[in-house]
Amino acid sequence: MNQASAHTPAGLTGAAGRQHSALDRYLIAADAALRAVWGDHVATRPCPRPDDEGAPLSDVDKREAAALMRVNHVGEVCAQALYASQALGTDDPALKAQFEHAAREETDHLAWTEQRLRELGGRTSLLNPLWFAGSFAIGLLAARAGDKVSLGFVVETERQVEHHLDGHLARLPAADAASRAIVRQMRDDEISHADAALAAGGSVLPLPVRGLMRLVAKVMTTTAHRI
């Protein structure tokens, strides 16, 4: 197994499409959880960097940028949980492959945000195990509701993340070109994931469900900004 695949939930269907037993699949999912929360993540793409990073940030700007990038890192931990659980919950090999591909791109985001947090002197959220567990449970519920609902959940999640990242581009310190470059690439990838899920047959979720998802996301982002 190469370094990149070692840190994603890929492989739930096994080599050459071989189907694992239910126990195997849950063990693979548990391994994905351990790696997502505590592993060292290796990106398959270079970390986006601006042409000119400008002057060094002030301590105040570093603290604010680190808090925002910690929130983005939490989002990527949740994305690993969601895609792992949804890949686990579908019997469609093509859909599993789609979820696993998205998870590999989200692993890039995880690695990039970790790298930027280190550069800013920040830390990841102390509640990452909780964020992963909750997101995994939600993703599995969506998967059990059927593939169209599961794909619709991806569409709504990624649209909300796109909106959230737009907000961070407005809130990041003006001088923090490095964080902005990462967030812009993350936003582009999330748009692509939403479009792919919609094209694959994702259904529109009921308005109350979308509202509940926004509320949960608000609680998570507000808490992660501090803890």
Query: Using one digit for the tens of pLDDT, what is the confidence trace for 106-161?
Result: 889 999 999 999 999 999 888 888 888 888 888 888 888 899 999 999 999 999 99
Average of per-residue pLDDT across 176-197: 93
Torsional class of 176: left (φ above 0), alpha (ψ -120 to 50), beta (otherwise): beta
pLDDT at position 14 is 45
Query: Mean of the per-residue pLDDT values for the chain?
Result: 84
Ranges 10-24, 98-112, 186-200, 206-220: which has the least confidence: 10-24
Closest CA to 111 of 62, 45, 185, 15: 45
d(CA 154, CA 79) in angstroms, rounded, equals 10
pLDDT digits (tens, 9 = 90+) for 17-63: 445 566 766 676 677 667 777 667 778 899 999 888 777 899 999 99
Beta-carbon contacts of 29 under 8 Å, excluding residues fewer than 6 positions away, are: 9, 12, 84, 85, 88, 136
Q: Is the pLDDT score of 16 beyond 70?
A: no
pLDDT at position 177 is 93
Going along the chain from its start, the domains and CATH numbers come out as 5-224 (1.20.1260.10)
Q: What percent of the chain has pLDDT over 70?
A: 86
